[in-house]
Amino acid sequence: MPAIVIIGAQWGDEGKGKATDLLGSRIDYVVKFNGGNNAGHTVVIGDQKYALHLLPSGILTEGVIPVISNGVVIDIEVLFDELEALTARGVDVSRLKVSANAHVITHYHRTLDKVTERFLGKKQIGTTGRGIGPTYADKINRVGIRIQDLFDENILRQKVEASLNQKNHLLVKIYNRRAITVDEIVDNLLSYAERLRPMVTDTALELHQALEAGKVVLFEGGQATMLDVDHGTYPYVTSSNATAGGAATGSGIGPGRIERVIGIVKAYTTRVGSGPFPTELFDESGEFLRSKGFEFGTTTGRPRRTGWYDAPIARYSARINGVTDFVMTKLDVLTGLKVIPVCVAYSVDGVRVEEVPVSQSDFHHAVPIYEEFPGWTEDLTEVRHFDDLPKNAQDYVLAIEAMSGSRVSAIGVGPGRDAIVVRHDLID
């Protein structure tokens, strides 16, 4: 089995680590290909809970080689903090590989992220404030700092100078902040260089060789389809390609290598930050999902916005990513609801629309058209076979499968690693 991609099919926090865990020991490499420490993955193993941001959640699987590839933006301090915290808990992180071409988040990127948000006022994106947008902006603007620059002080200084020159004008004259000196940035980055050096490599080449040798390479997307800079709810998105295509550009493997695309969907919907969200709930049902599903951001602790399952969004994700399998998480959270509405289409200015509208204004006006399904009261967390789920829970999954454009191959029934019902093998 060659390359497998896991992506979020909604607005993030679908529980992407669940699918990674399911593949477990059959994976040789796990690759983070987009985003940075804006991601937040909570993984529960036995009585241990891990919160990861920059590192892929597959790092917790013994024997796997974790890779941070070129498409990622790296806050080096966060990288070492996470590595140290995992090491202290007995996780072997010694095999981590970091791409020489990945871009570096610096102090000025974090500062710019925060001040630009403040200046946007009511129109703010609600970013995680980790410097993600400004770092990708520098990359596209060709004034970014890459990991390989840390190994040549002369080059590093020139690049930081070029990048800071403009930014200091902006920081001082527009945003009323202090200027940042080239020395403070260069000294900070150089202080990590020697610790970083052994991890840094040509990850595109290594992944190519691994695939040639028949290894299983899992690409773990951060964020999600609706937060993708091209295909999401722009401008309320992150600044990277979180969709399956991003796995190829973000790692340097050929797209033809990808044979399986696993889309992760929650049995309902959540979103953190601003932007349209047609099925959002503002009543006690929304509060029910938030408290029962513990919907609070892993990265910023913000309460997540909650709403019902949106089938047009799942269908859109299936199409944009070429989803071969869905993993539905958190079905257990719906236990206890009398009826469970599912959005099957939208009404846009009085007209029924089956697909996610291409016009952002239409999407802002989209009113969900719901179909209601009967709920169940049985606890699902110990269920391991589809046939043992309550009939109404089975019907809910089957109805969603029929609407969502791909088969539902596994179903999450609790936060624990083993709390999953498998219907189809994800590697065969």
**Binding residues for Mg ion, per CB under 5 A?**
13, 40, 298
What is the closest distance, in whole angstroms, from the C-beta atom of residue 226 to ligand IMO in the complex? Answer: 9
With CB atoms as reference, the residue minimizing the distance to ligand IMO is 273
Per the CB < 8 A criterion, the answer to whether 303 and 296 are in contact is yes
Cα gap 169→420, rounded to integer Å: 53
Tell me which of ligand GDP, Mg ion, ligand IMO, none is bound by residue 17, counting a contact when its beta carbon lies within the kind-specific cut-off of 5 to 8 angstroms: ligand GDP
280-to-124, 277, 310, 346, 369 alpha-carbon distances in Å: 19, 6, 10, 13, 13
Q: Which span (90-98, 122-130, 167-175, 388-396) binds ligand IMO, by CB under 6 A? A: 122-130
Per the CB < 8 A criterion, the answer to whether 214 and 427 are in contact is no
Burial of 173 (0-12, 13-18, 19+ CB in 10 A): exposed
Q: Are strands 48-52 and 41-45 parallel, antiparallel or unpaired?
A: antiparallel
Residue type, 4: I
Footprint on residues 130-169 left by ligand GDP (CB under 6 A)? none
What is the closest distance, in whole angstroms, from the C-beta atom of residue 298 to Mg ion in the complex? Answer: 5
Per the CB < 8 A criterion, the answer to whether 132 and 238 are in contact is yes
Q: Which span (127-135, 186-194, 261-269, 399-407) binds ligand IMO, by CB under 6 A? A: 127-135
Cα gap 139→326, rounded to integer Å: 32
Structure-block tokens of residue 344: 């099957």
Q: Write out the DSSP string of 263-279.
A: EEEESSEEE-SSS--TT
DSSP-assigned beta bridge partners for residue 421: 411
What is the closest distance, in whole angstroms, from the C-beta atom of residue 84 to ligand GDP in the complex? Answer: 21
Catalytic residue, chosen from 21, 28, 41, 418, is 41
User: Which of 72, 83, 125, 313 touches ligand IMO by CB under 6 A?
Assistant: 125
Cα gap 55→96, rounded to integer Å: 9
Binding mask 178-217 for ligand IMO (x = CB under 6 A): ----------------------------------------
Residue 133 is a binding residue for ligand IMO (CB under 6 A): yes
Cα gap 68→196, rounded to integer Å: 12
Cα gap 179→109, rounded to integer Å: 13
For ligand GDP, the closer CB: 40 or 286: 40
Residue 343 is a binding residue for ligand IMO (CB under 6 A): no
> Does the active-site annotation cover 41?
yes
Q: Please provide residue 203's backbone torsions phi and psi, each rounded to the nearest 5 degrees.
A: -70, -30
Residue 13 is a binding residue for ligand IMO (CB under 6 A): yes
Residue 325 is a binding residue for ligand GDP (CB under 6 A): no
Q: What is the DSSP letter of 77?
A: H
Per the CB < 8 A criterion, the answer to whether 207 and 104 are in contact is no
Q: How many residues sit close enough to ligand IMO to count as binding (CB under 6 A)?
A: 22
Residue type, 202: D
Tell me which of Mg ion, ligand GDP, ligand IMO, none is bound by residue 133, counting a contact when its beta carbon lies within the kind-specific cut-off of 5 to 8 angstroms: ligand IMO
Residue 320 exposure: Cα atoms within 13 Å on the Cβ side: 28
Tell me which of ligand GDP, ligand IMO, Mg ion, none is bound by residue 273, counting a contact when its beta carbon lies within the kind-specific cut-off of 5 to 8 angstroms: ligand IMO
With CB atoms as reference, the residue minimizing the distance to ligand GDP is 412
Residue 21 is a binding residue for ligand GDP (CB under 6 A): no
Residue 227 is a binding residue for ligand IMO (CB under 6 A): yes
User: Which of 73, 180, 272, 426 touches ligand IMO by CB under 6 A?
Assistant: 272
What is the closest distance, in whole angstroms, from the C-beta atom of residue 298 to ligand GDP in the complex? Answer: 4
Residue 15 is a binding residue for ligand IMO (CB under 6 A): no
> Does the active-site annotation cover 13?
yes
Structure-block tokens of residue 333: 């959270």
Rg over CA atoms, the chain: 22
- Strand segments, DSSP code E, in 196-338 are 200-201, 217-220, 258-266, 269-271, 305-307, 309-310, 325-329
What is the closest distance, in whole angstroms, from the C-beta atom of residue 53 to ligand IMO in the complex? Answer: 8
Residue 165 exposure: Cα atoms within 13 Å on the Cβ side: 8
Q: Which span (72-80, 129-137, 208-216, 342-350) binds ligand IMO, by CB under 6 A? A: 129-137
Q: Write out the DSSP string of 338-386.
A: SEEEEEEEEEETTEEE-S--SSHHHHHH-EEEEEEEE---S--TT--SG
Per the CB < 8 A criterion, the answer to whether 307 and 47 are in contact is no
Residue 40 is a binding residue for ligand GDP (CB under 6 A): yes
Residue 13 is a binding residue for ligand GDP (CB under 6 A): yes
User: Which of 238, 251, 269, 306 touches ligand IMO by CB under 6 A?
Assistant: 238
Binding stretches for ligand IMO (CB under 6 A): 8, 12-13, 38-41, 125-128, 130, 132-133, 222-224, 227, 238-239, 272-273
Residues lying near ligand GDP in the complex (CB under 6 A) are found at: 8, 12-18, 39-42, 44, 298, 329-330, 332-333, 412-415, 419
Which residues are designated catalytic?
Answer: 13, 41
